[in-house]
Structure formats: C-alpha cells, structure tokens
Amino acid sequence: MKKLILICLVLFLGTVAFATLEISRAQGGVEVTTDSILKLRAGPGTRYEDLGRIPAGTTLIAFARDEQTGWVKVEFEGKAGWVNVAFISFKGNLRALPIGDAAPPAGQAPTGGIGGATPTPPNSTGAPQNGQIESMTLYAQTDRVDYYNIVYYSDGLRIAGFYAEPRSPGKYPAVIYNRGGNRGTGALQGYEFAPFAEMGFVVAASQYRGGPGSEGADQLGGGDVNDVLALIPLLKSRGQVDPSRIAMFGSSRGALMTYIALRKLGERGSSDIKVAATTSALTDLFMWAKERPDLNGGAYLELVGATTSGNPAAFRARSATYWAGLIRVPLLIQHGDADTVVSVEQSKALGAALKRTGRSYKLIIQAFGDHGLFTHDEGYPETMKWFQQYIGRSGDNWDYYYWKDAILNAIGKLRKNW
C-alpha cells in the first residue's frame, strides 16, 4: 500500500512539475507562427539533426533563443527543438527570451541564423554568414558605375545576384532591387536596375534561391525572403554605402518579397530600410488565384507546396493585405490600370488596408499602364521623387528625366555585355 501511495505521489509531482514548466514557458515565452513548412532542429543551426517537420501556420511558444536571436527554441509534438527566425512570424520581443544552451553537433559547428540583419564577419569556425560575399566579378563599366556578378550566402546557401556601385569614392545611398518572376522566369540579366545605379545609388539584387546560379528552391515568399534580407548586411559591409540611407524596390513578385521583408524587419524592430516603393505588386495570392485559376494546380503547388484551400495560412503569410499594419516603412505603390498580369485591384486593396491602419503610403494608379509600366518609364520618375522625400540630401539630383539619356545608354551597353 505504501509503495502504491509513493508511486502516485511521484506521478502527481511529475505532472505538477511538467505543468509548471509549460505555464512558465507560456508566461515567459513568445508566440510564434511558422510561415512555411519548417524543420525542427536539435540545435540552433542547419547542421544539427533534423527532428521533424512543423506544418506551415502552426502556432507555438518560443521559450529560448540563441545569442544572435537567429534561432528560437520551441516544443512541437513532445519534442523540444530549434527553428530559424527567418521563417516565422511572432508576437513579442524575441530578444527578451533567455539564451538557451546547445552543444555543437559532433565535429561540426552550427550555422547562425539571420539575427538582426546587421553586418557580421565570418565567425571563428569559418561558417559563412548571411550576406557574406563569396565571389564578385566585374562584368561591365559605364562612365559612372561598376557592375558586378556576385555570389553571396543566405542560410548557408550560395545565392547569385548583382551588385553595382559608383566609380567615384564616397558614401552613397543604396537600394535593394527585388526582381519579378520565379525560378528562371523573369531572371535578372544585369541591366534592369541600371536606372538606380546611374543616378548614384549602390544597388544589390538577388536571383533568389532556386533562380539561375543559386542553390536551394524557390518558395514564392517563404524562406527565399531571407535572400533579400541578407542583402542588408551585405550592403552594410561595403565601404561606399551610407547605412542610414538604404531603400527597397520591388516589382510584381519582387513587390511581394518587398512586403514580406518589410514585415519581418518591422517585427524585429529593425529600421535598416528607410523607404520602399513597388510597381505592379503581387499583393494578395487569394485574389491572384481568382484572377488566374491555373495557379492553384500549377505554380502555387510547385512553389508553396500547397493550394490556397489546402493551406490558407501559408498564403496569408505571403499576402500583404492581411497584415498591412505591420509595414512600418513609408511605401509608394504604383500600378497600371491596364495590367493584365496582376490586377490593379490588388494594389487598391493594399492601399485601403494601409489607410485603415494609419501607415504612411501613397498609391498611384497609372492610366493605361501595363504590367511593366513601360509607358510610364517603369515607374522610376515617381519612385525617385518618393526616395528623395525620405532619404534625399542637399545636392542629390534624382530627377529621372535629367538622367534618362545616360540611363538608356548604360542599359544598351549592359545588354550588349550580357
């Protein structure tokens, strides 16, 4: 009888201890939600053992973090493990979490996460950091600008991209240029961002994972957004960049990447991006599926791994109309009313959502504008006026029409070079 009482007491105390642990975690933790299917790792890095998969849209409590706040510790289906901050949304301050200890995997060193998107040199183990440049090859020069092919790191993947900087020494504003398309479709050819470069900006642009020359798989606004975020520490590591004047621009799918990147930066309390502009923005994947019914059985399934009805959380996480209030950067939205690829109604819906939340934005509907806004100089004149308003300084001349001849000459040269 005494033995039975002792066993019951042990079980009771164990239950109380477990419940207390769970309550303390919830009270001291941060609620996080996975943006896509996510691996649960045994430690804070991609070289740790894979403990399982967490479905997209799963809400968990994070109760510890690594030193860089690039990974957080959660519990899923009875297993405690680590997830990469780049692939989650969260409510609360991750940096307030206690630092959890995790021994490195045998014979290996863990790779870090994105952390706060600040420049970091290679660590003592030699593991590549997000934004670290592996190679940089000059492919063209104009009178004013050097143009480079680059390969840089993002989540341990080698990502292809482009970099352009003025040939004259000095500190310059910078812009992250986010391309449209997916995988090889719409891939950059090395001239698309020339207007920014020729007007005096340092430019960084990504082909994204799964694109030409890049490792990994395109996820249409999933983990590939980290390839955009990694360009921030890349730019900050360059001596010619004024880190107080970094902008972001995206067109079509690149606008979707811009919106998600801005949301993630806002959630982390980062002010690295001072202003942003988009054209012909892919804003709501549910609306786009109605405009193009072929997407659910095609590109959505291939890139997101689901349909809008099968995993709506994954598509909400990629659709800015659902979380417009989380975009805290002054935003210019341009869209043509004759766009047959992405309806102007998507940008109108985002504009309405931004207005409801009191965010700083401007919506311009370009009359007779197609998807490329080619009859409106691709939206550059208005974009430069918007950038001037927020990061321009005395002496800057960002009048697109003043530079237009030089820009067209540069584009012609870059096309031939390519």
Helix H, strand E, coil C: the string for 11-37 is HHHHHHHHHHHHHHHHHHCEEEEECCC
Say what the pLDDT of residue 388 is: 98
Strands 241-251 and 202-206: what pairing?
A: unpaired
Mean pLDDT of the chain: 87
The torsion angles phi and psi of 17, rounded to 5 degrees, stand at -65, -45
How many Å apart are CA 286 and CA 300, to the nearest integer? 11
Q: Where are the domains of the chain?
A: 15-96, 133-284+319-417
The alpha carbon of 388 is separated from its chain's Cα centroid by a whole number of angstroms, namely 24
pLDDT, tens digit, for every residue of 326-350?
999 999 999 999 999 999 999 999 9
Regarding the domain delimited by 133-284+319-417, which CATH topology (the fold level of the hierarchy) does it fall under? Rossmann fold (3.40.50)
Say what the pLDDT of residue 2 is: 54
Stretch (H or E) spanning 79:
strand 79-84
pLDDT > 70 in the chain, percent: 85
CATH number of 15-96: 2.30.30.40
Q: What number of residues does the chain have?
A: 418
Helices 400-417 and 380-391: angle between axes, nearest 10 degrees: 120
Q: Where are the alpha helices (DSSP H) in 248-305?
A: 253-267, 285-291, 299-303
Alpha-carbon distances of 260 from 35, 69, 154, rounded to whole Å: 10, 19, 16
How many Å apart are CA 130 and CA 195, to the nearest integer? 27
pLDDT mean over 182-192: 95
Q: Could you list the beta-strand ranges (E) of 19-78.
A: 30-34, 38-41, 50-54, 59-62, 64-65, 71-76
Kindly report the pTM of this predicted structure. Answer: 0.72
pLDDT > 90 in the chain, percent: 71
Q: Strands across the sheet with 50-54, in order? A: 50-54, 38-41, 79-84, 71-76, 64-65
pLDDT, tens digit, for every residue of 296-320?
989 999 999 999 999 999 999 999 9
- Band the pLDDT of 87: cuts 50, 70, 90: low
Say what the pLDDT of residue 112 is: 33
How many Å apart are CA 215 and CA 224, to the nearest integer? 11
Alpha-carbon distances of 95 from 43, 67, 69, 248, rounded to whole Å: 18, 9, 6, 25
Alpha-carbon distances of 156 from 17, 41, 56, 63, 186, rounded to whole Å: 39, 15, 22, 25, 24
The tokens 């206690």 sit on which residue?
A: 98
Q: Which of 159, 169, 160 is nearest to 139 (CA)?
A: 160
Alpha-carbon distances of 295 from 184, 223, 313, 349, rounded to whole Å: 17, 20, 17, 20
Say what the pLDDT of residue 320 is: 98
How many Å apart are CA 371 and CA 381, to the nearest integer? 16
pLDDT mean over 276-302: 96
Q: Where are the alpha helices (DSSP H) in 268-343?
A: 285-291, 299-303, 312-316
How many Å apart are CA 334 and CA 278, to the nearest integer? 6
